[in-house]
Amino acid sequence: MSRSARLFDLLQILRRHRGTVSGAVLAEESGVSLRTIRRDVLTLQAMGADIDAEAGVGYVLRPGFVLPPLSFTEEELHALVVGAEWVARQTDPQLAHAVSNALAKINGVLAPNMREALDDTSFYVGPTQRYVSTGFDLALYRQALREQRKMRITCMNQDGGTVELIIWPIMLGFEGTRRSVAGWCEAEATFRIFYEKYIVGAELAVDRYTRNRRTLVKEWRASDEYPCASSKVVLIADASRN
């Protein structure tokens, strides 16, 4: 691997970790020695990268530093194409338009010899037939996430009736053909997963929840209510009706 490619990979690792990461972790992920990591960090700092280094703690890359274009690999471009196709077919029109714009911006800065990979027609992501609820407007839920707005949702219950709940949306879920929203339920004072199939109505509330959404996500992931932390997956309706 060339030195320029190694420096670029190190930057990508620092960006991926976002917070402070130890030199030992950087060395392991880069496949180089700790001494090389220290030397490469000094090189990047000399190039203008805002990397804070603290002995015995690690390194953190402050946002805002952009290297001159080094180009994507062909596989990275293929991954972007497949991801863009999935977003365009599986989400809402606003996100489909956004991903199309993003690819156009990337194409504008690519080296000419790499543009063919971005226009590759080797992949096809087909549409998926799924249940579509009138109460699950993805754009509305994404607005709630961005603005940390509470939502008033109406869901079917186990008796076939409906129940109205106030939730703090913190994450959207895409599981195969199923869509869901995870959030803090004020009525039950716990985190819940609400599936599209059972949501018959939703609207933004005026109030915003004051807790930070990212903090709430971390708390949910650390709790027993998080699906990966427990065999219990909470549904708003009887699981036998899935």
pLDDT for res 184: 94
Mean pLDDT, residues 216-228 taken together: 82
Distances, alpha carbon 4 to alpha carbons 28, 93, 152, 178, 188, in Å? 18, 39, 52, 43, 54
Which 3 state secondary structure label does DSSP give 51?
strand
What's the gap between Cα 139 and its chain centre?
Answer: 15
End-to-end CA distance of the chain: 50
Res. 231 pLDDT band, cuts 50 70 90: very low
Res. 46 pLDDT band, cuts 50 70 90: confident
Buried b (16+ CB within 10 A) or exposed e, 148-179: bbbbebebbeeeeeeeebbbbbbbbeeeeeeb
For the question of whether the overall pTM of this predicted structure is more than 0.75, the answer is no
Question: How is the chain split into domains, by residue range?
Answer: 3-61, 74-118, 138-241
- What is the DSSP code (8-state) at residue 174? E
pLDDT for res 116: 78
47-102 per-position pLDDT tens digit? 888 888 888 889 998 876 665 555 677 888 888 888 888 888 888 888 888 888 88
Architecture field, domain 3-61: Orthogonal Bundle (1.10)
CATH class of the domain at 138-241: mainly beta
- What is the DSSP code (8-state) at residue 151? E
N residues, the chain: 242
- CA 121 to CA 125: how far, in whole Å? 11
